[in-house]
Amino acid sequence: MEQLITPIKHLQKPLEIGDITLRNRFGMSSVSRNRADGTYPNALNGEYFYQRALGGAGFICAGGALIEPQGTAMRETPQIDTHEHMLAWRRVVDRVHEVPGAVFYCQLWHCGRMTYQDAKIQKEYGKPTIAPSAIQARMGIAPDNDGVYDLEPGLDKGYSKPTAIENPKDVIEQFRRSAILAKEAGFDGVELHGANGYLVSQFLDDTANIRTDDYGGSVENRARFALECIDALVEVWGPKKVGIKLSPATGRGDLGMPVERQIEQFTYLIRELDKRPLAHVHTLWTEGAVPANQRTEWMDMEVDGKMRGPLHPVWATYRHLIKNAKVFLNGAISLIEAEELLKDGTGDLIIFGRPWLVNPDFASAAIAGKEKELQFEYNFDYFAQYPIGDPAKGYTDYPFITKPDYKAPGLKT
Ligand SMILES: Cc1cc2nc3c(=O)[nH]c(=O)nc-3n(C[C@H](O)[C@H](O)[C@H](O)COP(=O)(O)O)c2cc1C
């Protein structure tokens, strides 16, 4: 049967966030690609984001930038930690801003306990793996994915046992410092990585956070770290340039309270976030994002053969709580679903992750009705996306379907 082409209507509409107007509602998700020079972003990274800006992305979030070397288990992951990192990012940002209308956010990231004490860079840094409490995540990487991690063969592949953070305010100050660097680099805003089992999520979850101080022990206390991080970013940027990414239904990184507790925790957090009010709250619907046949150990979602994580319908549960920020939706969303989610008001912008990896002009091509030429396969191997050999391969070498054209519909001249 002839495949129908999705009419792109709502995705083409501009979106105002504070004093920025996004040229359309095609967002590009933060996706780590492990192609920095050590911890420094480079010209190839600039080219990659520039291509996606040229290809019509209305909003681009850079792949997670680590706020300190702790947690740099994955190799060639960029940091935003020093003046030199800021200068390297500035060159990337400048390249992206060559495209009129391009909006480029920096995602601030700390892995917490999802790290390897034995990774080379962390050994050099000489500080322990940290987390809200000294509870080890009962998982790690599968042995056949060594290429992604800077680990010597034969090492224990489980995540390291963390040391409990002495004073969370010290880490919050690190987030603030990185937010200042992101501003100096010229980004248009920052997104706090509060999803996918990393440090901010670890504080929210009472199976990872058993603190007895102000940062644990109650719904309010477990949300304090996320909220104080956000407040630090807002002090630097103002509220309308700060967003947060959340994954309330994820079991990644050995997290997952029973559903009722999870809903209570995220309901409180999202209500408090909405009081700021932020630029955006970005929610990942994990069940949709991860096909059943990919929820394997290496996705860090299974412990002892059982799925971790309280699967529940994220948008139906939390959407109504967000009244003052823009709602970004993410998780294996098709073009037709995107149009419906925008039309019925579930979301204000659709964040696409994997489609942008293989289609540099994903937005322009969809707008131009070239849907059939797009590669739109969510069911591909995550690890094929990491570099083997030439870092440009599978990164900046995908062809444009449309001719990059500033006058294409939805794009500003
Ligand atoms: C290779 C790879 C790396 C990723 N790195 C990040 C990251 O650094 N930060 C983040 O928030 N999400 C990261 N994600 C998750 C994506 O941003 C996105 O939430 C997920 O792929 C679901 O969206 P999609 O179904 O449109 O791809 C990554 C995903 C992939 C496939």
Give the pLDDT score at 74: 73
pTM: 0.94
Q: How far is the CA of 166 from the centre of ligand 1 (A)?
A: 30
**Element at 16 (helix H, strand E):** strand 15-17
CA distances in angstroms from 377 to 177, 230, 241, 339, 340, listed in the order given: 38, 34, 32, 18, 20
What domains appear along the chain, each with residue ranges and CATH number? 10-385 (3.20.20.70)
Give the pLDDT score at 409: 42
Compute the distance between CA of residue 77 and CA of residue 408 in angstroms, rounded to an integer. Answer: 34
205-247: per-residue pLDDT in tens? 999 999 999 999 999 999 999 999 999 999 999 999 999 999 9
Give the pLDDT score at 144: 43
Residue (of 83, 74, 85) closest to 41 by Cα position: 85
Residues with CB under 6 A from ligand 1: 29-32, 63-64, 107, 193, 195-196, 245, 284, 289, 330-332, 352-354, 378, 382, 385
- Residue of 11, 26, 28, 29 best suited for mutating to test ligand 1, as the one with most atoms within 8 Å of CB: 29
DSSP label of 161: P
28-41: per-residue pLDDT in tens? 999 988 899 989 99
C-alpha dihedral (247, 88, 16, 313), degrees to nearest 10: -10
Kindly tell me the sign of the dihedral angle through the C-alpha atoms of 33, 36, 41, 45: negative
317-372: per-residue pLDDT in tens? 999 999 999 999 998 899 999 999 999 999 999 999 989 998 999 999 999 999 99
Question: How is residue 78 written in tokens?
Answer: 């960029």
Residue (of 152, 149, 63) closest to 109 by Cα position: 63
